[in-house]
Amino acid sequence: MSILQRVVEFLPIEQLYKEKSHTVKAVSRAWRTAARRALTRGRWKPLRSLEEGGELICSEASNVEPERRAFERDAREAWALYPGEVLLLLLDCNTPVLNQYIDDFYRHACDFLSLVVEPTKQGFASIVAAFEKALQLGRSRTGYGHRRGAILCLLMRWTRQEVPGSFSNDTIYALAAILATPEWLGDELGRWADPAMAAKVVDELIVYYYDDWHPRYDDLARAMSVNWADSEKRARFVARFVERQAQEDADIATADAEAPHIVDDGMYNHL
């Protein structure tokens, strides 16, 4: 393998085939050849094969034989090697062309995940691990914050659908409260390399709480990270929420101090 081919093998996949001026195709013929080999014979072949069947990922067409067998093979191979990239590819299926309704997208996406992970807590852990990789890859892409929310929602829906006795038909509030425990999302986030990224996922999780209510930020962070083995990582994770809770407490105190006082005369309340 030439030096150029080795270099190309480690480039992000979108740098190899997107028809844009900043991809390697615009450099030279040698670069184009190396990119084509990486996609058809090299590192990115499983993911590229899955992407070429993109219309099968989020559609009923994935149930048609013999396309189904090839699709499942490509899906499992790509997930085993590049789970983060596969999750991002899955999110790209959420388009008006492929899905008229958002529920259609999540239903097909859950079905896809069921092809590549077991319907167990271990499968849940695999998706959360892929979640981290997807966010690491997606930092430089547009819609980074939206991806966090979309993947979290997908995780919740898949778990309720596929893991027996997990969430059943609980409300959105109940789902968020169950996820925000060490047994579910808490311990898995402790395996992430960056506690700041984990904290942003918890921010998204809080959105699902009932209306504007949520537990105290500092109490939630301490509870979710109680089993984390890395004490330094846990301290950094908790510190973000302690600071946020202190600010919220200060804002509430200021609002209370500035609010009109109520005087009770025994009959009526007068401002």
User: HEC states along 124-149?
Assistant: HHHHHHHHHHHHHHHCCCCCHHHHHH
**Residue 99 confidence class, pLDDT cut points 50, 70, 90:** very low
pLDDT of 54 higher than 60: no
The confidence score (pLDDT) of residue 170 equals: 61
Percentage of the residues of the chain whose pLDDT score is greater than 90: 23
The confidence score (pLDDT) of residue 230 equals: 95
- Number of CB atoms found within 10 A of residue 206's CB: 16
pLDDT of 19 higher than 70: no
pLDDT of 112 higher than 70: yes
Residue 99 Cα to chain centre, angstroms: 19
Angle at the Cα of 68 from the Cα atoms of 62 and 69, rounded to 5 degrees:
155
> Residue 111 half-sphere exposure, CB side, CA atoms within 13 Å?
17
Distance CA 110, CA 101 (A): 15
**Residue 21 confidence class, pLDDT cut points 50, 70, 90:** very low
Asked if 240 contacts 199 with a C-beta cutoff of 8 angstroms, the reply is: yes
- For residue 198, give both structure tokens: 């984990």
Name the residue ranges covered by the structural domains of the chain.
Answer: 1-43, 46-169, 171-271
Helix (H, G, I), strand (E, B) or coil at 269: strand
- Please provide the average confidence, as pLDDT, over all residues in the chain: 76
Asked if 155 contacts 128 with a C-beta cutoff of 8 angstroms, the reply is: yes
Q: Which of 49-53, 117-121, 191-195 has the lowest mean pLDDT?
A: 49-53
- Number of CB atoms found within 10 A of residue 48's CB: 18
Distance CA 205, CA 188 (A): 14
- For residue 38, give both structure tokens: 């990486």
Average pLDDT over residues 134-141: 72
pLDDT of 72 higher than 60: yes
Question: Do the strands 263-264 and 269-270 form a parallel or antiparallel pair, or are they unpaired?
Answer: antiparallel
pLDDT 10s digits, 148-180: 888 888 898 888 888 877 666 666 667 778 888
User: Nearest-CA neighbor of 147 among 196, 190, 84, 97?
Assistant: 84
Average pLDDT over residues 88-113: 71
Helix (H, G, I), strand (E, B) or coil at 263: strand
